[in-house]
Amino acid sequence: MKPKITLKTPWQILASGFGAGLSPVAPGTMGTLMAIPFWIIFSLTLSLPFYLLMLLLTSLIGIVICQKASDELGVHDHGGIVWDEFVGFWITMLGAPLSWSSILLGFLLFRFFDVLKPWPIKVADTKVTGGFGIMLDDMIAGLFALISLQIILRWVLPIFA
């Protein structure tokens, strides 16, 4: 039986996205939803250089968080570990305007790439281990979603405006 993620250790609190990963249904989706309020705060308070620094730090710290939580649970990439979804969504939203349409589109694009896992996301998900592996596939999904979001916002939507 797969161990349950808990809120009993600091690593599991952070890895579970402050409890979002405890959801019995779609914990990755819940983790992405929980990342939205943080992104709103970041977008209102951080300049681009500081946003990039935040991404770097949360990615590096995320490797440690995910590794420690994974070690505690004895399971690689436990479904309740959603810190990687947080960072993946924040990557997606890099440079996006603060609007509900951007948030919705970014959310849908990130979840699409995170769930579907096209190449090379699938390779990262299946071949790279440890905390880095847990983070890497979502970071690549975030990059795919970022590129898609920017194309849609800059070149597709203006055609219909």
Give me the pLDDT at residue 89, please: 98
Please report the pLDDT score of residue 42 as a whole number.
Answer: 98
| Each residue's pLDDT tens digit, 26-39 | 999 999 999 999 99
CB 13 within 8 A of CB 7: yes
Q: Which residues of the chain have pLDDT under 70?
A: 1, 161
Instruction: Give the pLDDT score at 161.
Output: 61
Report the pLDDT value the prediction gives residue 1, as an integer from 0 to 100: 67
Which amino acid is residue 104, in one-letter code?
A: L
3-state class percentages of the chain: helix first, strand second, coil last, to nearest 5: 75, 0, 25
Q: Where are the domains of the chain?
A: 26-153
pLDDT at 120: 96
